[in-house]
Amino acid sequence: MGKIVAVTGNEACAEALRQINPDVCAAYPITPATDLMQRFAGFVNDGKVDTELVLVESEHSAMSACIGAAAAGGRVATATSSQGLALMWEMLYIAAGTRLPIIMPLVNRALSAPLNIHGDHSDGMGARDTGWIQMYSENAQEAYDNLIMAFRIAEHLEIRVPAMVCMDGFIVSHSIERVEYIDDADVKNFVGKFEAVNPLLDLDNPKSYGPLILTDLYHEYKRAQHEVMTKVPAVVLEVAAEFEKITGRKYGLFEEYRLDDAEIAIVVMSSAAGTTKDIIDQYRDKGVKVGLLKPRMFRPFPFEKVAKALQHVKAITVLDRADSYGGYGPLFSELTGAVMSMNSKPAMLNKIFGLGGRDYLPDQAEYVIDELIKVAETGKVEAIKEYIGVRE
């Protein structure tokens, strides 16, 4: 039985890192992720971990140091947000393309300009095609659990790619919630001992990293990256099943909430799912058959399983906490790809919400459900994409 505590999302993730005890962490502070690595630095200072903490001059350098440490054969982690992730841009592709299982809590925050320190998903969505696994967390408990599972998933010998564990800035990272910690020994047994693959410090078996690959093999190399990512969902489910045995907490590629008999559905990630569930309960009490699908794993996106889970609904609204200017929201684009395989295609709507940390309120969820009811009845969609919670 683990210990039940009242902590923030950042505290919970720092505790997970303490329990895992990575070989190397490289970090540079940025709001709202600063508190996470600051707390972990306290564990290093107090001798509670053996981690080599590398304090660098920028996030680009932080990811560069992580790449070097991972290539040398270490278990490696860092954390960042927003502009920090943007500054890492070049190195994100290198970490993924070099197949280095670096783990990075990403405390989601809006990107400048204008300057904004609050939470939306524009940073994570901007990095969605870098080759990293992306897992999104509804609350502090899920962030803690996802971070522990991410080490097992990314370090799996058939995967070996880096992973981001995302949580909403301030809403989750700085809000105090009930979290159940796992015993230290159980965490250590669960993640296991790190197994280095082709480490640079194995001087008896020298290897080359980062060779120049031109038109002769680059295309095949990138296809191989995709093929590895297609193996991730099965590993996620395998790791989640083991995690359930020690915690009793069940996770999948996505969460289905009152979806079995739903006629209309909302698809939303992270903290906004909690508010939406409460409003769904209220509408269920009125006899409205509405459900929710909350993706946990955004990359790779489980198209076929999502399509199967939603195949019976008449209308779907996808809520995006990030925008693709001149196009539809990132999550909506993934969902439209998923429903293409359905024999009977539901009506699809896209709502952009909560940019720059704007509160997602119950009345917005009510608006979404009321519109879905009308669309399901009439089959008519007035506007596919709409911004909600906007001041006119």
The residues, any chain, with a CB within 8 Å of residue 241's CB and separated by 6 or more, are: none
The residue-averaged pLDDT of 379-384 equals: 96
Instruction: Calculate the average pLDDT of the chain.
Output: 98
pLDDT(14) > 70: yes
CA 347/CA 345 separation, integer angstroms: 7
Domain 4-246: give its CATH code: 3.40.50.970
Domain 254-387: give its CATH code: 3.40.50.920
Do 4-246 and 254-387 have matching folds? yes
CA 105/CA 150 separation, integer angstroms: 10
Classify strands 254-257 and 290-295 as parallel, antiparallel or unpaired: antiparallel
CA 80/CA 83 separation, integer angstroms: 9
The residue-averaged pLDDT of 340-363 equals: 95
pTM metric for this prediction: 0.98
Q: What is the DSSP letter of 355?
A: G
CA 285/CA 289 separation, integer angstroms: 9
CA 180/CA 247 separation, integer angstroms: 9
CA 156/CA 130 separation, integer angstroms: 19
The total of other beta-carbon atoms located within 10 Å of residue 387's CB is: 12
Q: pLDDT tens digit string along 60-108?
A: 999 999 999 999 999 999 999 999 999 999 999 999 999 999 999 999 9
Instruction: Please give the C-alpha separations between residue 182 and each of 32, 148, 243, in angstroms, as whole numbers.
Output: 25, 10, 10
pLDDT(347) > 70: yes
Q: pLDDT tens digit string along 233-270?
A: 999 999 999 999 999 999 999 999 999 999 999 999 99
CB 163 within 8 A of CB 101: yes
The residue-averaged pLDDT of 125-133 equals: 99
pLDDT(343) > 90: no
pLDDT(1) > 80: no
Which one-letter amino acid corresponds to residue 354?
A: G
Residue 186 structure tokens: 């159980």
Write down the domain spans for the chain. Answer: 4-246, 254-387
